[in-house]
Amino acid sequence: DLILFWHRRDLRISDNTGLDAARKRSAKVVGVFCLDPDILERDDVAPARVTYMIGCLDALKHRYTQVGSQLLILRGNPVQTIPALAKALNAKAVFWNWDVEPYAQTRDRLVIDALKEKGIEFLHQSWDQILHSPKEIHTSSQSPYTVYSPFWKNWSSKAKAKPLATLENATGLTENEQEIAKQAGVIQLPSAKDLGFIWHRELIISPGETAAQGKLEEFIAQNITEYKEQRNFPSVDGTSRLSAALKFGVIGIRTVWQATLEAQEHSRSEEAQGSIRTWQQELAWREFYQHAMYHFPQLAQGAYRDSFKNFPWQNNPKHFQAWCEGKTGYPIVDAAMGQLNETGWMHNRCRMIVASFLTKDLIINPQWGEKYFMQKLIDGDLSANNGGWQWSASSGMDPKPLRIFNPASQAQKFDAEGEYIRQWVSKLRSVDTEYLVTGKISSLERHRLSYPQPIVDHKVQQALFKTLYQQQKEIT
């Protein structure tokens, strides 16, 4: 009996819950991926992200061939394409893994209805990209958590599943069935360029399962025991850079977790143990935001807190443009935006700095920044990005009410030698470190280097933001 396994954010054949379940039912498991125009034609899709995804699909295709089966590519609305293919191939069942995003939830319900209408009743879904289902982690009164610390306490105390077996010895479609699949809409995998996305630079992580596994092993062997300290410095390559692989499920979360447990076993020092724990906590932040998106889909629409629902954002388009282009006149902010624009990735410390700057210094609606990030990030992910922006804007679930980063003190602390700034703002390479990190570069010098004057005054804007914030709090 043929089972179709519909890949979405799980572009791998190892440690894949739904695929493992499918293989247990039948040897004849064939993968399918649908290029959905409703996603690809949105105005917040990053060329780096599509390029990475297409590379991962290409790698996945090879993996399927290696184990004796195929990956079929469709293009169109999955509500039509998936049921039509399943029907044409007379598939016994369609399996897939759940997704927390509101769009995916609605789409999946429609696909289920359409499959049933076509007489395909055997459907199977499982949780895969998170270690615990959103329903499994709740407060003593059965409500979802809205604060991270108690979430972490509960989540980390629960036993985690072990990695699952890699698909092997599968049977694919016969030649005749392949012909039928073609007639039912199966196409060759297009390039990112065919889809209208051009990315000329090297990707920060190579596509595919093998590369993701390699990146994990490298991080565990070289960086995890010093992560707690090193992760704060944007000029240091001290984080895993696994975010795009985790976003597209190119590596299984159980595999990642297991690697952290093994690292714990092999580490003696308290410092190393603390570092591993800190990295585990980042994985839990990822999961916290996914659970939050599942329980509170309204997060995707804007501020969680009432006091931010009608906030008088100034939304100056010129300021926004300067921020996007890294021309604010604040060296650390401009460096970070340079890294994003050039590589499709930004260090976490800098994501926090530029998000605080956009919302608290430029007083621009965080949704503008959130969207710009999605247009650029290789790892752009609704739950994590929205969570990060709401945290930075103080509009989200986080209990600490107001957090305003001072760009100069952030740079002094985390880029004390100005290495990161010099790397991403080449115009400032020759500036003395002290002036570089504090941003106290004279007007004349800025002019000479063709580097912009600061577009706003941090102190003035900070005070203004606080006043607006107080007023809103009193109204709501």
Judged by the rule CB under 6 A, the positions of this chain that interact with ligand FAD are 231, 239-243, 246-247, 282-283, 285-286, 289, 348, 351-352, 355, 373, 377, 379-381, 384-385, 387-389, 392
Instruction: State how far the Cα of 234 lies from the Cα of 292, in Å rounded to an integer.
Output: 28
Tokens of residue 429, six digits: 């390479």
**241 vs 360, which CB is nearer to ligand FAD?**
241
Cβ at position 382, least distance to ligand FAD in Å: 8
Instruction: State how far the Cα of 462 lies from the Cα of 167, in Å rounded to an integer.
Output: 55
Cβ at position 245, least distance to ligand FAD in Å: 8
Contacts for 436-445 with beta carbons within 8 Å, 24 or more apart?
Answer: 436/331, 436/411, 437/331, 437/332, 437/408, 437/411, 437/412, 438/408, 438/411, 438/412, 439/329, 439/330, 439/331, 439/332, 439/407, 439/408, 439/411, 440/408, 441/331
Cβ at position 212, least distance to ligand FAD in Å: 11
Instruction: State how far the Cα of 275 lies from the Cα of 278, in Å rounded to an integer.
Output: 5
**115 vs 212, which CB is nearer to ligand FAD?**
212
Residues 6+ apart with CB under 8 A from 434: 440
Residues 6+ apart with CB under 8 A from 152: 281, 284, 288
DSSP code of residue 187: B
Cβ at position 39, least distance to ligand FAD in Å: 15
**244 vs 322, which CB is nearer to ligand FAD?**
244
**95 vs 391, which CB is nearer to ligand FAD?**
391
Cβ at position 373, least distance to ligand FAD in Å: 6
Closest residue to ligand FAD: CB criterion: 388
**253 vs 456, which CB is nearer to ligand FAD?**
253
**29 vs 355, which CB is nearer to ligand FAD?**
355
- Using CA atoms, how far residue 394 sits from 215, 311, 362, in Å, is 33, 12, 15
Helix and strand numbers, DSSP H then E, in the chain: 22, 5
**13 vs 244, which CB is nearer to ligand FAD?**
244
Site of tokens 């390039």: 191
Quickly list H helices, 41-77: 47-66
End-to-end alpha carbon distance in the chain: 59
SS3 state of residue 97: strand
**258 vs 438, which CB is nearer to ligand FAD?**
258
Cβ at position 218, least distance to ligand FAD in Å: 12
Cβ at position 199, least distance to ligand FAD in Å: 17
Sign of CA dihedral 385, 391, 396, 397: positive
Cβ at position 158, least distance to ligand FAD in Å: 18
One-letter amino acid at 212 equals: A
**181 vs 352, which CB is nearer to ligand FAD?**
352
**392 vs 406, which CB is nearer to ligand FAD?**
392
What single string gives the DSSP state of each residue in 270-285? Answer: HHHHHHHHHHHHHHHH
Tokens of residue 444, six digits: 């004349």
Cβ at position 358, least distance to ligand FAD in Å: 9
Cβ at position 340, least distance to ligand FAD in Å: 10
